Amino acid sequence: MTIQRYKDYDSLSSAAAYLVWRQIKQKPDSLICFPSGDSPTGMFKFLVQYAKEGRIDFSRAHFVGLDEWVGMDKNDEGSCSHYLHKNFFSLLKIAPAQVRFFDAKVADLDRACQEMDEHITNLGGLDMMIVGIGMNGHIGLNEPGTDFNVYAHHSALAPVTIDVAKKYFTQQPRLTEGITLGLRHLAEARTPVLIASGSKKAGIIAQALNGPVTTDVPASIFQNLPNTQIFLDHGAAEKLNKE
């Protein structure tokens, strides 16, 4: 586990974008998992800039979305896939064949999970899986109590997750369940990446990276993943033990 501390969010975002840039340079057909939310927005801005300047070519890369609110897809404003299209895929006109999201509107969610697992396996596994961290330590929508060995799955959302999610919607939907890549995917990714910013994340970051490894704090799995890259700005790192 390598922890990188940066003076501010912009520096963190630039460094995270450089990590993706380096991955694509080394393996143009990489399979990368992208998250939605506030934390990766700056990274996407840098990556879009690099691509438009001709410094990076995503034409051979493949992407999967980390998670989705059950009952939503890219046409629903506030959904995870809508965010990723708005902030990255649509801006660079990434071909639809390069991108896979959960179909969170189907009746058979177990089948949707199985299809995502098969898709990742067929592409040779995740080269890079980038995630943020929830206020309760969740990764993707792997809520507290999730088994570290689970692949894609769907489950009930924690109350704090539902409360935090409200900011993404202009009209409040009824959020009850999420569908997500599993913590086993994170463990098997060749490069797992965590991005966190702001003082509001400092407490859970310290708990996840300095506390006991437990399913009560899903993000504590990072302590068991030697290839992990952790990107924190000053605020997020302020309660972390000095190394």
Q: Which residues are part of the catalytic machinery?
A: 67, 136, 138, 143
Those residues with Cβ within 8 angstroms of residue 238's Cβ, 6 or more apart along the chain or in another chain: 199, 202
Q: On the CB side of 191, how many CA atoms lie within 13 Å of its CA?
A: 20
Distance, in Å, from the CA atom of 3 to the CA atom of 194, rounded to the nearest integer, reads 9
Position 31: which residue type?
L
Residue of 140, 230, 238 whose CA lies nearest to 192: 230
Those residues with Cβ within 8 angstroms of residue 64's Cβ, 6 or more apart along the chain or in another chain: 31, 32, 33, 34, 99, 100, 101, 116, 119, 120, 126, 181
State how far the alpha carbon of 7 is from the alpha carbons of 14, 170, 192, 239, in Å.
Answer: 12, 32, 22, 15
Looking at the DSSP bridge assignments, the partners of residue 156 are: 177
